[in-house]
Structure 1
Amino acid sequence: MENEKYQILLYYCYAAIEDPEAYREEHHLFCIENNIRGRIIVSSEGLNGTVSGLVEDCERYMAYVKSDARFEDTEFKIDTHHTHAFAKINVRAKEEIVHSGLRHINPREKTGKHLEPSAFKALKDQDDVVILDVRSDYEHKLGHFKNALRLDIENFRDFPDKVKELDHLRDKKVLTYCTGGIKCEKASAFLLDQGFKDVYQLHGGIIKYGLEAGGEDFEGKCYVFDNRVAIDVNQINPTVVSECYICGTKSDRMVNCANSECNIHVPICGSCGWEFEGACSDECKGHPEKRPYDGTGYYQKNSNGYNPYKGFYRKSDQAKPDPVRYESSDS
């Protein structure tokens, strides 16, 4: 659309990073100097991020990532938006780029066969196929593929313990999917590790399937980890599958409970939203920590004096007094 001057980029790349903390600092500085906002994880096993920015800033960011030989094959899922999808930039160094507890698995060495959206669409309804959602329960309750097997897990790190419940599917073709593809890299590899023979993954996840295959047979909305919270995927046969947490009517309107001590993230219809003043129950409605409700159910986190340069200090480069160089205050 003409007024959508921003882009939202979703990506990951499994690649060895010898000094994640040093690269985190470099990456952080590039983002703040190019007005990129979002959440990025840097690990010894690679990168994982969702960021937003003006189209030209995002193009510069993608070029920056791909200019590094370690990340040159990174694939970006690109969506348009009318503004930033994040309030700030947050780049962190962590043990894994998605928390799974499967540190022994390297998707560059072993993982399920990648299926492009068109191939996934052609294969998903065959009799010998099982479609497996590897996301958390709050995600797949909002939206999922028709006939998909959905696991009762609060976090992806719970996935390995649930695999024993899938033993009866060992003779099936198992098609895994998630939001952008990253969880499937290790989920499908772990299935292979546990003796499953025919394992696939939806390359690029739900997001790419919506962009390239129209999202057919994805029921409901897709939960995303930015300020949009939930997005439409299916342009062909859309449905609503989630229910209002309070009254049980069909609703895909995701909100946070107005009681900051509860803050549960659930679907609440517009009518119940106003009746309960953004709270999820009478108890939360009367709670002293209930926040004012403006009809959105979205509450910006307190930035606590957020400064994107926190952790760095300016130090003039004696050899090159201009421009300024940034160095870690901890070094």
Structure 2
Amino acid sequence: MKPILNISAYLFVTLTDTQALRESIRSQAAAHHLKGTVLLAEEGINLFLAGAPDAVRGFVAWLRRDARFAALAPKESLSDAVPFGKLLVKVKPEIIRMNHPQFRPEAGRAPAVDAQTLSRWLDAGHDDAGREVVMLDTRNAFEVDHGRFENALDWRIEKFTEFPQALRDHAAELHGKTVVSYCTGGIRCEKAALFMAEAGVQNVLQLEGGILKYFEDAGGKHFDGHCFVFDERESVDAALLPTRSV
């Protein structure tokens, strides 16, 4: 059985032709026999796709020929079967809904920390400036229940639109610390980090590429459990392998 390649990727970039892109992306993805979901909005693109490895990479290469998507950096994992039932390409108001469209990461990203540096900080118990590092989970509560960083803050939000109010309720917990927001693949923690910085929280970083990139570059150290994914695999372990068969 040939393995299936799964990719997760997003990019905040201004798009003014989302309807036309929807048609061309759907056509190309279908021609490559891919399944999954692609979301488009004025703020960018967010995608989860699966198929034969050559087909998936061929589609990504086609997408990157558009200069706006040249920086797209997919996270990859393998499975024995395609974990999606169909192909969906949708245009939305936001590629990750927070109901704060004025926060546009492509206008200036929040600072990020890479997986290996974060792992080193967690080993030491502090960052390079000697500040305590606080891991802030920006995912929904049911996702957190599958796995989380050790001692991470979990505000038990049920949807990402609740994050701004949760921050107002818990901002005092972050004072004087280096706050690292994290999520599955990077999109929510990037938007959350930008929102926190705009709200006046100091020393805020996003985990570059989210949990999936952390697993790829640093393994499962300092992470308890598995990472929930929004497809039939349900979750993946630190080796990026499905925890249930599809």
Equivalent position to 1:199, from 204, 211, 215: 204
More deviation, 180-189/125-134 = 125-134
Matched, 1:130 2:134: yes
| SS of alignment partner, residue 200 of structure 1 | strand
Using a 3 Å threshold, how does the CA distance of structure 1 residues 108 and 88 change in structure 2: closer, same or farther? same
Number of the residue aligned with 1:176: 181
Deviation at 1:123, TM superposition (A): 2.1
What does 1:81-230 correspond to in 2, within 5 Å? 81-124=79-122, 125-126=125-126, 128-168=132-172, 169-230=174-235
Q: Specify whether residues 175 and 34 from structure 1 end up closer, same or farther in structure 2 by C-alpha distance, changes over 3 A only.
A: same
Q: Does 1:56 align with 2:61?
A: no
SS of structure 1 residue aligned to 2:106: coil
Unaligned runs of 5+ in 1: 236-252, 255-295, 299-331
Q: Distance in 1 between matches of 2:232 and 2:21?
A: 26
Any conservation in 2 of the 1:36–1:53 contact (CA below 8 Å)? yes
Cα deviation digits, residues 114-156 of structure 1 (max 9, x gap): 1111011122332521110000000001110001001111101
Residues 45-93 of structure 1: CA distance to partner in whole angstroms, max 9, x if unpaired? 1100110010110110110121110010011101112121211100100
SS where residue 233 of structure 1 aligns?
Answer: coil
Matched residue SS, 1:49: strand
Q: Calculate the aligned-residue CA RMSD, in Å.
A: 1.7
Q: Percent identity?
A: 31
What one-letter code is carried by the residue in structure 2 that aligns with 1:155?
A: K
List 4+ stretches of structure 1 deviating above 4 A: none
**Is 2:23 the counterpart of 1:19?**
no
Does structure 2 retain, via aligned residues, the 8 Å contact 1:111–1:192? no
* Equivalent position of 2:65 in the other structure: 67
Distance 2:198 2:109 in 1: 9
Structure 1-normalised TM-score?
Answer: 0.69
CA distance in 2, matches of 1:134, 1:46: 20
8 Å contact from structure 2 (residues 14, 106) kept in 1: no
| CA distance in 2 between partners of 1:65 and 1:216 (Å) | 34
Q: Which amino acid letter does the alignment assign opposite residue 177 of structure 1?
A: Y
Q: Do 2:42 and 2:93's aligned partners in 1 also have CA atoms closer than 8 Å?
A: yes
**Equivalent runs, 1:296-315 vs 2, <5 Å:** none
What's the offset of the Cα at 1:42?
A: 0.7
Preserved CA contact (<8 Å) 1:219 1:234: no
Aligned AA (1:33) = A
Per-residue deviation, 1:193 = 0.7
Larger Rg: 1
Structure ranking higher on relative contact order (CA contacts 8 Å, 6+ apart): 2
Aligned to 1:231: 236
Q: How many residues align?
A: 237
